Amino acid sequence: MEVPILKQGAVLIATFQAALSDADLNQLRMGLVQQVVKFRSRAVIVDVTAMDVMDSFASRTLREIAHMIRLRGADTVIVGIQPEVAFAMVQLGLTLEGVATALDLEEGLAYLNEKFKTTN
Amino acid sequence: MSVGEIQVAIKSDQDIVSARQKGRLMASEMGFSSGDATLIATAISELARNIVSYAHKGQITLKMVNGTNRQGISVIATDNGPGIPDIRQALRDGFSTSGSLGLGLPGVRRLMDEFEITSQPGRGTTVAVKKWRQ
Amino acid sequence: MIVAKRNETSRETMTLNNQAPELARSEAPSELLRELVAHLRQNRTQLREEWVVRISETRLLTAMTKEEIFAEATSIYDSYVEALETEAFEALQAYARNLSERIIPRGVETHEVVGIVLLLRDVLARSLFAKYQNDFKKLNRILDAYEPAANRIANTVAVGFVQERERVIRQQQEAIRELSTPVLQVRERLLILPIIGVIDPQRARQLTEQLLRGIRTNRAKVVVIDITGVAAMDVTVANHLVQTVEASRLLGATVIVTGLSPEIAQTLVTIGVDLGKMNTVGDLQGGIEQAERVLGYKVATLAEPEPR
């Protein structure tokens, strides 16, 4: 399953589907980092609104994406985690520590704009 | 009360997705809240992933179970893989799941109401978990 | 043998209804039961009347009118005889639940329901004594057939009532719990969750779920959880609190915990709860002020403007 990556100015937006397999996630991880390099993006927003399960593998992949992108000097924001998914994640001890989160795409963009303002 | 049972063969990471989708559907049909259905689906995902990572293939069985006065869902994950040499250690909460692959078993235990594991090195592992409807 | 078998199955009340019909003894009990049922049908009016009189004499079901008691007595009597006849208890069980649903809100107590069923059992037994008093052997056999069935009926009704009562209590508990954890929006993007009383794991979960939904629907960026009213905090409750904070962050909201008493703080540090994950402020007012700073509002007191 292909994960669509949208380029919006200096920001890349990747939208996850509900039924992503491990292989899809691995592919996305490589794809995103390559695109950040290619477009010299300043930030990536990963939208997980459609994901109804976030297990340890998905959560670990998100953290790895964020860390790799940070090594390229860009930011990552995870947006759209559903309340029930968040509850299950903390039960599993998955807290995405050190990764920025926001309620939805709109909030994620607002967060980045604020950040760009202060670093410009 | 009829007893519904679904078996899902786990051979690849694709099967992890289909096992948890079937589990969520079954839980919703049984009247679990969507919050509980999410916990159940997440637990199934972890158990199926353990099979793929450690034993390569195995099976997940989803079953409706009746207790005194209540109804629940039972999830049984079996494989004929290498087994777990030290179950106690596998159940210990690492809590820093960072980096290490981790068995995720302590987490699964927290997601569900009942948890049982039997494992024989060289023979395989069976994890049986249950969640009761509130 | 039969006694032993019954003991084995009566441990779990739910299986009472599924008991296999008894094996035939020297004389088929079903034959006797049929005779018994015919007798109870024939004398329905009189026996029912007698029963109703006994109910009012014993001052049971005082919350109900005479007419209501009579109507219920008729239904119970007929279901009772039917259960004796068919040895199928589903209908009776359903009736017991339905009856309980109607009379629990009227304040009818468990002892009253059990009481009236036992009265009926006795009224019917007396009529059997009267009918068979000249044939002692037959009376014995009739009672052998009647008593176990009658006891199962009493059991079924009592269990049905208690189950219904428990269901009502559970429902009420849930309603109270919902009321006891209000998620309040004090201004745009700011929620306050005052927690009062004892937190058990179930309530902690409900609280977290409600808060997470609240964050989503109100698009909250900051949440102040005030625990001034929390009676006691142990390691389990503290871990729940930490989880609530972490889950809120996953939705992009910052949590500020207020009202942590020195005693509780001391306890938490002693048991080794990681307070570093929690953003704590002394009292609710201070918490709201900090929340407003996070949201980008300037907080100023009228008398003395803050330098920042």
Please state the domain extents for chain C: 2-175, 184-295
C274 pLDDT more than 80: no
B98 pLDDT more than 50: no
Answer yes or no: are the C-beta atoms of B90 and B131 closer than 8 Å.
Answer: no
Q: What is the mean pLDDT of residues B46-73?
A: 91
Look up tokens 């980092």; give the residue.
A33
Q: What is the mean pLDDT of chain B?
A: 87
A22·B16 Cβ contact <8 A: yes
Q: Report the chain B residue with the minimal C-alpha distance to residue C12.
A: B68
Q: How far apart, in Å, do the first and last CA atoms of chain C sit?
A: 88
Predicted pLDDT of residue C307: 56
Predicted pLDDT of residue B94: 57
What whole-number percentage of chain C has pLDDT above 70?
85
Predicted pLDDT of residue C16: 38
Condensed to tens digits (0 to 9), the pLDDT of residues C162-185 reads 888 888 888 887 777 666 678 888
Predicted pLDDT of residue C5: 40
C299 pLDDT more than 70: no
C18 pLDDT more than 80: no
From the CB of residue B30, how many other CB atoms can be counted at a distance below 10 Å? 17
Q: Report the chain A residue with the minimal C-alpha distance to residue B103.
A: A56
Look up tokens 């207790």; give the residue.
B67
From the CB of residue C216, how many other CB atoms can be counted at a distance below 10 Å? 19
Predicted pLDDT of residue C232: 75
Cβ contacts of A84 on chain C, cutoff 8 Å: 209, 212
B126 pLDDT more than 80: yes
A71 pLDDT more than 50: yes
| pLDDT classification of C235: cutoffs 50, 70, 90 | confident
Please determine whether the domains at C2-175 and C184-295 fall in the same fold group of CATH: no
**DSSP alpha helix (H) spans, C219-250:** 235-250
If interface means Cβ-Cβ distance under 8 Å, which residues of chain B face chain A? 13-14, 16-17, 20-21, 24, 34-35, 38-39, 41-42, 45-46, 49, 52, 93, 95, 97-98, 102, 104, 106-108, 110-111
- CATH number of C184-295, picked from 3.20.20.60, 3.30.750.24, 3.80.30.20, 3.90.1530.30: 3.30.750.24
Predicted pLDDT of residue B96: 37
From the CB of residue C295, how many other CB atoms can be counted at a distance below 10 Å? 15
Cβ neighbours for A96, distance < 8 A, ≥ 6 positions apart: A59, A62, A63, A78, A89, C250
* DSSP-derived secondary structure letter, A40: T
- Judged by phi (left if over 0) then psi (alpha if -120 to 50, else beta), residue B59 lies in beta
In 3D space, the residue among C252, A51, A54, A50 whose CA is nearest the CA of residue B39 turns out to be A54
A42 pLDDT more than 80: yes
In words, the CATH class of domain B5-132 is alpha beta
Cβ contacts of B104 on chain A, cutoff 8 Å: 55-56, 92
Is the CB of residue C17 less than 8 Å away from at least one CB of chain A?
no
Q: What is the mean pLDDT of chain A?
A: 91
A103 pLDDT more than 60: yes
Look up tokens 């972890």; give the residue.
B46
| pLDDT classification of C107: cutoffs 50, 70, 90 | confident
* DSSP-derived secondary structure letter, C275: G
Fold for A5-119, please state it. Answer: Transcription Regulator spoIIAA (3.30.750)
Output the pTM of the full model: 0.68
Between C186 and C233, whose confidence is greater? C186
HSE (side-chain half, CA atoms, 13 Å) at C208: 32
B100 pLDDT more than 70: no
A11-15 β-sheet, strand order: A5-8, A11-15, A43-47, A75-79, A100-102
From the CB of residue A102, how many other CB atoms can be counted at a distance below 10 Å? 23
Which one-letter amino acid corresponds to residue A41? S
In 3D space, the residue among C137, C125, C115, C119 whose CA is nearest the CA of residue C40 turns out to be C125
Separate counts of helices (H) and strands (E) for chain C: 11, 5
C264 pLDDT more than 90: no
DSSP-derived pairing of the beta strands C279-281 and C254-258:
parallel
Q: What DSSP assignment string belongs to C89-156?
A: -HHHHHHHHHHHHHHGGGT--HHHHHHHHHHHHHHHHHHHHHHHTT-HHHHHHHHHHHHHHHHHHHHH
A20 pLDDT more than 90: no
A1 pLDDT more than 80: no
Q: In CATH, what number does C2-175 get? A: 1.10.490.70
Predicted pLDDT of residue B99: 39
